[in-house]
Amino acid sequence: MYTSDQEKYSNTPTSEEVIAGVELRNAKRKSRWPAYCDVAQSVTGLLLGLFLFCHMAFTSSIQLGKDVFWNLVAFSGGYVFDGEEHAWMHVALIGAITLLVIIHALMALRRFPTSYRMFHNIKSQYQFIAHRDTTLWIVQIVTAVILTGMVFPHVTPMILDPEAIGPNFSSVHTYHNGLLWTFIFLVATELHGMIGLYRLAVKWDVLAGNREALRKIMYCVVVLMIACGSMTMWTYYSNGKALVESGEPIVKYEPVNNWWK
């Protein structure tokens, strides 16, 4: 058995020793933390990607009427249990999603280019090998930067004032944010999330040998999500504009049809 690193690494194992794995227990092992971080990034990315579908279904429900959206909000607030909406349940849910976003962002920063030279190398490689997956990765970097500046202004009002989540206040909030801000946020979110799910499927070999088909499915899903989100955005904006221009005080919406009573 080797007694020191100097002695250990000064010795060149024979072929018999290599085959037998002699002294492998003394070899220096690399840290497992990069692997843990990689798994954490994948898991949080998967959860957030799936959440986008739930979020789209949730917010788009307003196109079926304010009552539908109100009832879904009430359900997430625990109204179904005792006939009372619990603001802390909204805060807990939004806080959990925000925590996933933070963890995912921190894990992803490990691979984010941090110098001009890295950016230059990426650009050179992309120009030399114009691979579509490299293009998608660059799109993810750009959208990640955009989302960094837009996610927290989006979730902070909901955490600080969860009782304002509803058809009226959410519509007014969208109106004040404007169509441009909301559309940029929508496009960046859906591109980042759907490309992330695609790259995750490729990374973990979900559909072996069918990358092209998987990429086409991803493109279709992105278009559908942005189209649905755009119609939803316009509904919120129109409702908010009507409420603001009415000149009346904005009050919490009271449903005509309460599913939970």
Binding-site residues, in ranges, read 55, 104, 154, 192
Q: b vs e for 185-196, b when ≥16 Cβ sit within 10 Å of the residue's Cβ?
A: bbbbbbbbbbbb
- Given a contact cutoff of 8 angstroms between Cβ atoms, the answer to whether 63 and 231 are in contact is yes
Q: Which residues make up each annotated binding site for heme b?
A: 55, 104, 154, 192
Q: What is the DSSP letter of 64?
A: G
Between CA 57 and CA 90 the distance in angstroms is 17
CA torsion sign for 52, 138, 202, 43 is negative
Q: What is the DSSP letter of 28?
A: P
Q: Which residue has the tokens 């996933």?
A: 100
What backbone phi and psi angles, to 5 degrees, belong to 197? -65, -40
Between CA 151 and CA 2 the distance in angstroms is 54
- Given a contact cutoff of 8 angstroms between Cβ atoms, the answer to whether 104 and 44 are in contact is yes
Between CA 54 and CA 96 the distance in angstroms is 15
Between CA 100 and CA 193 the distance in angstroms is 13
